[in-house]
Amino acid sequence: MGRARVSPETIARARPFAARLLVQWVLLAALIVPVGKTNAAPSAPPVTTATTGEAIFQKGVLGSGEPLEATHDGGVNLRGAAAACMNCHRRSGLGSREGNSSIPPITDRYLVHPRVESPEEFDLPYVPSMRIDREPYTDTTIARAIREGLDSEGKPLSDLMPQYALNDTDMTALIGYLKRLDRRRSPGVTDTVLHFATIITPDADPVKRSGMLAVLKQYFDDKNVFPLGATPPLRSSRKMMFMVNRRWELHVWELSGPPSTWHDQLKRLLVEQPVFAVLSGLGGKNWAPVHEFCEQEAVPCLFPNVEVPVETDQDFYSVYFSRGVLLEAALLARRILDEASGQPVRGKTTVWQVYRTGDNGERGAQALAAALKGHGMTVSNRALAPGDSVAHSLHGISRGDVLVLWLRPPDIAALGRLPPPSNTVFMSGLLGGLDSTPLSASWRGVTRLAYPFDLPDGRRVRVDYAFGWFSIRKIPMVAPQVQADTYLACGLLAETLSHMVDAFERDYLIERIQDMLERRILTGYYPRLTLAPGQRFASKGGYIVRFAEPDRVRLVADGDWMVP
């Protein structure tokens, strides 16, 4: 068959997934090359460190420090990170599938597996795009595929496959990395059990803790009584051939003492009982030690309930539903700046922030102050120490100032005896109690909430199933948003594992969640969830909401959904 031609313009307009496809077959060959620093032929055993192969695969950086370069038949040149193997074959090396397009696994054991005539003869975990009907690759034919675009049988690969001019040293390094990437079994996985942990910090809210654990334990009990696959949806017989139902086992890791000791506690717990992933969890004022531990140990941490997640574009294993109070700060900054730009100039606007010292509102206040910096506004903070009254923090604020409250329900309730000092008041919905905030009627007329969720009417259909599940199983709804998020995290894990079938690799778990999330219909409190490669937060935006007249009870949007 002739080789189809793809113009540079077509490729340039392609979606990010299509761009990954451009690299898929080139990386297929390239990703199969070991790590090593030698002038020997690619088939020589690797003798260099793993870092060179990893840098080529993940970052598009050669052993010399120069950017990786690739050329496509249509004249498109890829360079550096854009040429990295991981763009197509993913961090796990197990590829992906979208519609009719397949990116095959390129880890060593899939590449070198002998040809088989039927799936029954294939003894590796099922991956949707794996090939069983071709000759096995060798180091030499892998190198040829990367450099010349020819498969293990000498046939042309897809036109989407670029061609790489890797020298022997870098080729050997890349193949060696792929061989090390090929783990035989992930920790926490046995022939009959999948082990999961949930982590609770010592300062976590005890009410939220009880609500979250009730959901987790009941979900695991249900899963083990009615295992996924007992009454399977329509699946190919080939896929079902690889399916093995495993019991889920939950381990509750409750931390104690100061944060400086948590890493050692978690390390000991992980050694005593390896787990495949951390599911949900609950944090108080500091989740960073847990986040860092999961990154260092390469343990997926799936959707913990935390108000201040760790913001970074460098990490991989921790994913969150939202940025919490940091997202609220971004929403408030955008609204405050938008409204200030439409007002007559009467000097600098003063923004007063009230929060409890050491609470998560302090982190929100810091983020808002940073976002407003350089925009002609004065930001003043009123930090309440233990025992300080809210009334004291309101002295000196004028009607024309902006007041931002980063307070919990007890302090919000205490405002009821006081008149609002400003005509423009904002508050954190997440900290203040969302729809159940105890804000008094006199304050509701001037106060708007940062609201990093869908509106109550909009999310009702998406949360009714979870709330009905709680009711049938007699789970008290003591913290509805946390419990709904926990139930959503469990459902996402179950659905993802059903698609992974038997390929239990930690990196692959994160990748499959990324691929599936945007097709999820029941998304709980969130209108939409997406996790593109490199993203850590599934919900990107929120509303500013106000209390609707005449009774000031119902929350309505004060503007469109914003993605700051």
Q: Tell me the per-residue pLDDT of 151-165, one tens digit each, with 9 for 90 and over.
A: 899 998 877 778 888
pLDDT for the residue numbered 347: 55
CA proximity to 422, closest of 335, 351, 372, 371: 351
pLDDT for the residue numbered 7: 40
CA 125 to chain centre: 24
pLDDT for the residue numbered 98: 63
d(CA 367, CA 381): 12
Specify whether the CB–CB gap between 412 and 405 falls below 8 A: yes
Specify whether the CB–CB gap between 119 and 130 falls below 8 A: no
**193-321+458-533 CATH fold:** Rossmann fold (3.40.50)
d(CA 274, CA 267): 10
pLDDT for the residue numbered 9: 39
pLDDT for the residue numbered 463: 96
For 492-528, give the DSSP string: HHHHHHHHHTT---HHHHHHHHHHHHTT-S--TT-S-
Q: Tell me the per-residue pLDDT of 36-89, one tens digit each, with 9 for 90 and over.
A: 333 333 433 333 445 899 999 999 999 999 999 998 776 778 999 999 989 888
d(CA 491, CA 485): 10
3-state secondary structure (DSSP) of residue 265: helix
pLDDT for the residue numbered 128: 83
The CATH class of 326-451+545-557 is alpha beta
Count of CB atoms within 10 A of residue 373's CB?
A: 10
pLDDT for the residue numbered 226: 74
Could you tell me where in the chain the CATH 3.40.50.2300 domains are found?
Answer: 193-321+458-533, 326-451+545-557
pLDDT for the residue numbered 417: 85
Per-residue pLDDT of the chain (564 residues), as tens digits, is 333 333 433 333 333 434 343 334 333 333 333 333 333 334 333 334 458 999 999 999 999 999 999 987 767 789 999 999 898 889 999 988 766 778 889 999 999 999 988 777 788 888 888 888 889 999 999 999 888 888 899 998 877 778 888 999 999 999 999 888 876 678 999 999 999 999 999 999 999 999 999 999 999 999 999 765 444 443 444 444 445 689 999 999 999 999 999 999 999 999 999 999 999 999 999 999 999 999 999 999 999 999 999 998 889 999 999 999 999 999 999 999 999 886 654 556 799 999 999 999 999 999 999 999 989 899 999 999 999 999 989 999 999 999 999 999 999 999 998 999 999 999 999 999 999 999 999 999 999 999 999 999 999 999 999 999 999 999 999 999 999 999 999 999 999 999 898 899 999 999 999 998 988 999 999 999 999 988 999 999 999 999 998 888 999 999 999 999
CA proximity to 177, closest of 91, 297, 88: 91
Whole-prediction pTM value? 0.86
